[in-house]
Amino acid sequence: MVKQLTWDVLDPCASFPLPRPKSDDVSLAITVLQEGFAFVGITEQWALSVCLFRVMFGGQCLASDFLDTRPGDLSNASESDSGYDTGDLQGWTDVWDRPVYDEALSIFASARKVYGVDDTSCAALCDFSDS
């Protein structure tokens, strides 16, 4: 993510694994996220992201906004399990992208608070019981 937000290349992943981002790149990526986006949503909080977008920018909630168009096989996953086996990472964490993701979470939480978007307001805004 840091590379996508800060490097002027068409395919930032093509340079994997080197060169790696530097701390200045991380700081710049956070600044770009804070100042360069009108909206930040969180995939893991899809419904709330859709509702926040609708509250911020208008438009009707559509049932299709909430469809899982890319379902995975979660037959062996518990409800709290994302379905991904992260064991291969052996505890590795992304020290460059994590601060950017944490800032995205913070921006998302702040916007939800400003616009009053929570599970209850989302359910009321996007009520499909009459459809």
pLDDT tens string 72-89: 665 554 444 555 677 888
Q: pLDDT at position 39, please?
A: 98
Q: Residue 129 — very low, low, confident or very high, per pLDDT cuts 50/70/90?
A: low
Mind listing the pLDDT tens digit for each residue in 41-66? 999 999 999 999 999 999 999 989 98
Query: pTM, whole model, 2 decimals?
Result: 0.79
Backbone angles phi, psi at 41, to 5 degrees: -115, 165
The whole domain housing 28 covers 2-63+95-125
Residue 76 lies in a domain: no
Hey, how many other C-beta atoms are within 10 angstroms of the C-beta on 94?
A: 13
Q: Residue 64 is encoded by which pair of tokens? A: 């299709």
**Across residues 11-33, what is the average pLDDT?**
83
Percent of residues, the chain, with pLDDT higher than 90: 49
User: Does any domain span residue 73?
Assistant: no
C-alpha to C-alpha distance for 33 and 100, rounded to whole angstroms: 8
> Domain total for the chain?
1
